[in-house]
């Protein structure tokens, strides 16, 4: 007996909602201690988490936007739309890292929900549930093992999971497009908008745009659909994508970011990776060290096709093998079931694939067979649409391979597609067995299966198209608006007077307390400088301690104790203030407007005096080295 239509509609909404809420609760409540390459250990005086490496770069761009400096702080702008998201989260959570990432998790918790919806639409609700549960469990374990394995997860300020979420949403929109949803123009418009968003979160994702158009064309040929519908859908898809992409790109052409050195651009970085692939596969380099004499990227590929394409193929193969090995494959057998589920190293993070492939070959082959069955079940159930996630996986991995990256976090946006088809394979096998041997149970499951064909679609109207276009335009213009809308903090009225006052107080403090120092001469000789801006991330490092992968030498092990801030203004500067640990007796406001007097070193600013303005008072810190001068 079929379930009532009204009840089916409630279930259609209720199950995804339950998955989202359960995911957010589980991930937020998972114990987290940081100590990652992208998030160093807690340090005094604030004992707050502060990002490092790529995560620090994204967050510092967000902090720069908050002081009205937009994306013009001397840093290469990558992942601009993810930076915009961090800016919004900082407006709510300030610099409270756990609160900020709780908000991020509430957004990323949509990821398993979308996996469920994709599985439900191309095979069976139980397939979607199994894949969603796998996704929830995997991310929970990723959060808990952060100190042990350098992974990207929802507690870190990284773009990998947001990219995975947007790819999921895009796949779902394209599935609805291919399945002939009643709102034919709106669905490809939304799918195109999602592709635009992905590209501004992860650049190489732009390869998904031609991939989806190719899939749409194949869909038309296979099912002999109308050429007019294909053309109309493609046009709306491109309109959606370029509505997101064009505002930011046109803005960059009109207002180029002159604060950034072209040698640090993404294209220049890609060029260096291609050079590295040539040097790695050749006895000697054929590329000149002089940048002005270097050929174009295309010319370099044409001149050195063998080593370059060899590297691309190697990266692609590594991505596919790594996708397969996110399945439960252990080189050492678990002693008990508890260890199987909670082994601290887990089975999807390993330095080499050689061990699992050689020692557990039969198990790996079994997993591969089930994944292939899952692909077959999906294709049998929904035809060409069932192969869409596989196609997106392959094309995305191609884009990553052409960017000379593979494995680990670079694969994370699409590696879920491996266990997604595995889940379909498992449920497909179970359904076959139930159909063959347990007909009564199979009949009981049929009403659940009917949920997959429930079609909730409305009549297309001009208003719906206009509303959709409006929201896409809002997203598209977020970046140009963020870059110009917020006034610059350090040249506007009262703040300018305040900063002048802080500078005067700092100089007066040095003259009064250290009269032997020839301040005027030091300034004239440019040995002493004044910098100002917003100081964030105050961290105390004892002598001979530091963080791995730090961007500045003063954040790596050094022979003196110091407080380190990141100073945000027209450029990003690392501020080091030598101090005695005994002076760390109170919380330091974060963020804080400061004026710093000191010496510019190679990769950091050595502070003599720091004058900061809190909400109710002015505070002054002095270097412990001044007593020696």
Does some domain include residue 288?
yes
**Over the stretch 122-174, which tens digit does the pLDDT of each residue have?**
998 999 999 999 999 989 988 988 887 777 899 999 999 999 999 999 999 99
Note whether 419 and 532 are same-domain residues: no
Note whether 462 and 520 are same-domain residues: no
Res 36: pLDDT: 86
Note whether 363 and 267 are same-domain residues: yes
**Over the stretch 33-72, which tens digit does the pLDDT of each residue have?**
888 889 988 898 889 999 988 899 999 999 999 988 888 8
pLDDT band for 500, please (50, 70, 90 cuts): low
Note whether 369 and 463 are same-domain residues: yes
Q: Are the C-beta atoms of 101 and 50 separated by less than 8 Å?
A: no
What residues contact 568, with CB distance under 8 A and at least 6 apart? 60, 63, 64, 67, 69, 73, 533, 534, 535, 536
HSE, side-chain direction, 13 A CA sphere, residue 181 = 25
Mean pLDDT, the chain, integer = 82
Its domain, for residue 252, covers 54-478
| Alpha-helix runs per DSSP H in 203-332 | 208-222, 227-254, 266-281, 297-303, 305-324
Q: What is the mean pLDDT of residues 577-593?
A: 83
Does some domain include residue 75?
yes
Residue 19 has pLDDT above 50, yes or no: yes
Q: What is the mean pLDDT of residues 472-491?
A: 84
The better pLDDT of the pair 229, 66 is held by: 66
- The three-state secondary structure class of 329 is coil
Of 478, 502, 526, the domain-final residue: 478
The better pLDDT of the pair 531, 518 is held by: 531
Res 204: pLDDT: 86
How far apart are alpha carbons 461 and 554 in whole angstroms? 60
| Bridge partners for 612 per DSSP | 594, 619
Least confident of 74-88, 259-273, 326-340, 370-384: 326-340
Global confidence as pTM = 0.88
Res 286: pLDDT: 45
Does some domain include residue 49?
no
Note whether 538 and 469 are same-domain residues: no
Res 28: pLDDT: 96
Count the domains in the chain.
2
Residue 442 has pLDDT above 80, yes or no: no
Does some domain include residue 24?
no
Three-state DSSP string of 531-555: EEEEEEEEEEECCCCCCCCCCCHHH
Phi, psi of 596 (to 5 degrees): -120, 130
Of 448, 478, 508, the domain-final residue: 478
Q: If residue 150 lies in a helix (H) or strand (E), which one and from where to where?
A: none
pLDDT band for 453, please (50, 70, 90 cuts): very low
Place of tokens 């530091």: 546
From residue 35, alpha-carbon distances to 42, 147, 154 in Å are: 8, 5, 15
Note whether 229 and 295 are same-domain residues: yes
Does some domain include residue 533?
yes
Does some domain include residue 568?
yes
Residue 482 has pLDDT above 90, yes or no: no
Eight-class DSSP state of 622: E
């Amino acid at each position: 007996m079929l379930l009532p239509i009204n009840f089916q509609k409630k279930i259609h909404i209720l199950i995804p909602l339950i998955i989202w809420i359960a995911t957010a609760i589980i991930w937020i409540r998972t114990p987290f201690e940081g100590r990652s390459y992208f998030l160093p250990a807690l340090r005094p005086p604030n004992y707050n988490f502060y990002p490092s490496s790529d995560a620090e770069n994204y967050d510092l761009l967000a902090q720069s936007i908050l002081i009205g400096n937009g994306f013009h702080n001397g840093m290469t702008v990558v992942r601009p739309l993810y930076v915009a998201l961090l800016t919004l989260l900082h407006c709510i959570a300030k610099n409270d890292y756990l609160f900020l990432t709780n908000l991020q998790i509430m957004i990323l918790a949509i990821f398993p929900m979308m996996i469920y919806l994709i599985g439900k639409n191309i095979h069976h609700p139980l397939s979607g549930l199994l894949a969603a549960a796998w996704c929830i469990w995997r991310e929970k374990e990723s959060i808990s093992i952060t100190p042990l394995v350098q992974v990207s997860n929802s507690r870190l300020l990284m773009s990998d999971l947001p990219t995975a979420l947007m790819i999921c949403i895009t796949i779902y929109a394209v599935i609805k497009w291919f399945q002939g949803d009643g709102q034919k123009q709106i669905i490809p418009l939304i799918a195109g908008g999602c592709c635009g968003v992905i590209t501004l979160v992860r650049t190489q994702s732009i390869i998904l745009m031609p991939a989806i158009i190719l899939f749409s064309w194949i869909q038309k040929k296979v099912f002999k659909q109308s050429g007019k519908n294909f053309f109309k859908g493609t046009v709306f898809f491109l309109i959606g994508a370029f509505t997101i992409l064009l505002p930011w790109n046109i803005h960059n052409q009109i207002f180029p970011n002159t604060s950034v050195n072209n040698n640090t651009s993404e294209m220049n970085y890609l060029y260096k990776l291609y050079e590295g692939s040539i040097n790695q596969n050749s006895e000697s380099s054929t590329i000149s060290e002089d940048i002005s004499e270097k050929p174009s990227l295309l010319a370099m590929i044409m001149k050195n096709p063998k080593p370059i394409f060899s590297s691309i193929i190697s990266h692609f193969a590594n991505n596919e093998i790594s996708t397969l090995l996110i399945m439960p494959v252990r080189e050492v057998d678990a002693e008990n079931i508890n260890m199987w589920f909670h082994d601290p190293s887990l089975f999807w993070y390993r330095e080499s694939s050689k061990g699992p492939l050689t020692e557990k070959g039969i198990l790996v082959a079994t997993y591969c067979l089930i994944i292939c069955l899952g692909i077959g079940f999906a294709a049998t159930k929904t035809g060409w649409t069932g192969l869409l996630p596989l196609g997106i996986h392959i094309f995305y991995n191609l884009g990553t391979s052409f960017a000379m990256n593979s494995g680990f976090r670079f694969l994370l946006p699409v590696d879920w597609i491996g266990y997604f088809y595995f889940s379909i394979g498992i449920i497909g096998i179970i359904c076959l067995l139930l159909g063959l041997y347990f007909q009564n149970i199979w009949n009981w499951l049929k009403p659940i299966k009917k949920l997959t064909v429930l079609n909730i679609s409305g009549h297309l109207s001009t208003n719906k198209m206009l509303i959709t276009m409006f929201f896409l335009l809002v997203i598209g213009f977020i970046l140009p608006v963020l870059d110009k809308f917020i006034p610059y903090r350090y040249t506007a009225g009262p703040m300018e007077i305040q900063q002048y006052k802080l500078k005067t107080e700092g100089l007066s403090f040095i003259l009064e307390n250290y009269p032997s120092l020839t301040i005027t001469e030091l300034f004239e000789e440019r040995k002493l400088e004044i910098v100002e801006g917003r100081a964030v991330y105050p961290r105390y490092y004892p002598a001979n301690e530091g963080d791995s992968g730090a961007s500045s030498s003063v954040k790596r092990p050094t022979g003196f104790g110091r407080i380190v801030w990141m100073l945000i203004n027209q450029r990003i500067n690392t501020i080091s203030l030598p101090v005695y640990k005994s002076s760390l007796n109170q919380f330091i406001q974060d963020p804080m407007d400061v004026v710093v007097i000191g010496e510019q070193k190679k990769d950091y600013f050595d502070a003599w005096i720091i004058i900061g303005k809190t909400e109710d008072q002015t505070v002054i810190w002095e270097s412990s080295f001044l007593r020696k001068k």
